[in-house]
Amino acid sequence: MNEAEPVKVIRLTGELEIGRKNEIRSTLRAPADGTPVLLDLAGVTYADSIALTELLRFCAEAQQVGQPVALVIQTPQFARLIQYAGLATVFKVFAEPAEALAYLTESPRQ
């Protein structure tokens, strides 16, 4: 990672569920400048479709400003939730932060 391309890290932990909808929504705000975003969700212990909807909205907003987003997910429940929802190909999911960072800083993008 070099100075020219910083990465913004947004971290959410614990249970990402309906009771925390507003908090999740306000945490997931896309920077307007196209900075790549590493969504560190490694400390999430549970997620539901309310969280998925917020993540989808965030990624769509980011895409509009050409901002790449990589998700770090280590919780089996969360990873399977994304499969069950049919969103496996929609999110860029990595098990390790280093892999996500490599994707954000090294891969060529248009």
Partner 1 sequence: MSRQPSVLRLRCPAQSRFVASLRHALVSFLRAHDFKGQQLDDVTTAAGEALANVVEHAYTAAASQVDAYIGLRANVDAKGTLALEVYDGGAFVERRPTRGRGFGLRIIRAIAGRLTIDTSNGTRLRMIFERKR
Q: How far is the CB of 109 from partner 1 (least distance, A)?
A: 23
Rounded Cα distance, 70 and 87, in Å: 14
CB-based contact 35:66 (threshold 8 Å): no
- Kindly identify the residues of this chain, within the stretch 75-94, that bind partner 1 according to CB under 8 A: 76-77, 80-81, 83-87
Helix (H, G, I), strand (E, B) or coil at 11: strand
Rounded Cα distance, 31 and 97, in Å: 20
**Nearer to partner 1 among residue 52 and residue 104 (C-beta):** 52
Interaction site with partner 1 (CB under 8 A): 15, 17-19, 21, 46, 48-50, 52-53, 56-57, 60, 76-77, 80-81, 83-87
